[in-house]
């Protein structure tokens, strides 16, 4: 089955601790994304990557870091600098065709809920 | 700037009656538009998308949406609600010139009464 997996489903963070959320896809997609979801606010983009070894900040990148060493993996680290990390985190991916004029669909993983102890 | 507004934060319908979830967008050029559905504690699932082809778009589970440029609207409809339709729905506009960035509406929670 092709798809996007996120782990763990629930994650607890202690104060001052960095935690890493995993996102893996076997869809052979070039582009990957991280979103944060808070109640009543829709989704906000944290970071995105169009290709391996390259990534860009989204709208709310402060307190987060990412890496893209492999095409299929895009882990997100929530650092101690993120003062309000409690949220539902969603990873997504899409194909990227050079010169394409149509919109590519983003496919989402099941999410990780991060809670602060 | 592009943005999307979902006009109702909550919609309640009875099972078997029509569903209408409203969405308006603003865009400086022809947008691509999506509707996603999210069941509690789950990821988002694509219902349908508009990409400048037919203005009436049919999606999964009997949903459809009509792109109306003159009204800058992309409302989601379904003729007859089912209990399993109870979920949160997001209207989304894309920014293909900015790395395929999606801009999400705040969401509409659909409640279906038996």
The tens digit of pLDDT for each residue in B61-92 reads 999 999 998 999 999 999 999 999 999 999 99
The residue assigned the tokens 């979920």 is: B87
Report d(CA A92, CA A73) in Å as an integer. Answer: 11
- B107 phi and psi, to 5 degrees? 100, 150
**pLDDT (tens digit per residue) in B50-63:** 887 788 999 999 99
- DSSP assignment, residue B31? P
Report d(CA A51, CA A58) in Å as an integer. Answer: 15
Identify the H or E element spanning A47: strand A43-51
**Residue A49: per-residue pLDDT:** 92
**Residue A1: per-residue pLDDT:** 56
Partners of A31 on chain B (C-beta within 8 Å) are: 99-100
Tell me which residue in A42, A106, A111 faces B107 most closely, judged by beta carbons. Answer: A42
Question: A109 at the B interface (CB within 8 A)?
Answer: yes
Q: Is the link from the previous residue into A110 a cis peptide, with omega within 30 of 0?
A: no
Strand-pair category, B56-58 with A107-108: unpaired
Choose the mutation target among A3, A10, A106 for the interface with B, i.e. most B CBs under 10 Å: A106
Partners of B94 on chain A (C-beta within 8 Å) are: 103
Residues 6+ apart with CB under 8 A from A54: A68
Question: A78 at the B interface (CB within 8 A)?
Answer: no
**Chain B closest-CA separation from residue A83 CA (Å):** 23
Counting beta carbons within 10 angstroms of the beta carbon of residue A70, is it exposed (0 to 12), middle (13 to 18) or buried (19 or more)? Answer: exposed
Return averaged pLDDT per consecutive 10 residues of chain A, 117 residues in all.
87 90 95 90 90 92 97 96 92 72 77 91
Question: A39 at the B interface (CB within 8 A)?
Answer: no
Asked if A105 and B90 come within 8 Å (Cβ–Cβ), the reply is no
Q: How many CB atoms within 10 Å of residue A50?
A: 16
């Amino acid at each position: 089955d092709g798809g996007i997996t996120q782990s763990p489903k629930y994650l607890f963070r202690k104060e001052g601790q960095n935690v890493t959320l995993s996102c893996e896809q076997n869809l052979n997609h070039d582009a990957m994304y991280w979103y944060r979801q808070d109640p009543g606010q829709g989704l906000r983009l944290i970071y995105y990557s169009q290709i391996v070894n390259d990534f860009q900040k989204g709208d709310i990148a402060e307190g987060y870091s990412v890496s893209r060493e492999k095409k299929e993996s895009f882990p997100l680290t929530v650092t101690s600098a993120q003062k309000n990390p409690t949220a539902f985190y969603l990873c997504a991916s899409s194909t990227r065709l050079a010169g394409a004029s149509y919109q590519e669909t983003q496919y989402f993983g099941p999410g990780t809920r991060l809670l602060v102890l | 700037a592009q943005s999307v507004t979902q006009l109702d934060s909550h919609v309640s319908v009875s099972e078997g009656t029509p569903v209408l979830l409203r969405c308006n967008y603003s865009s400086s050029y022809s947008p691509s538009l999506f509707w996603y559905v999210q069941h509690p504690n789950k990821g988002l699932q694509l219902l349908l998308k508009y990409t400048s082809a037919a203005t009436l778009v049919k999606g999964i589970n009997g949903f459809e949406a009509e792109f109306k440029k003159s009204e800058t609207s992309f409302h989601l409809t379904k003729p007859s609600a089912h209990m399993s339709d109870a979920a949160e729905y997001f209207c989304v506009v894309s920014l293909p010139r900015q790395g395929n960035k999606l801009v999400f509406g705040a969401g509409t929670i659909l409640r279906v009464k038996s």
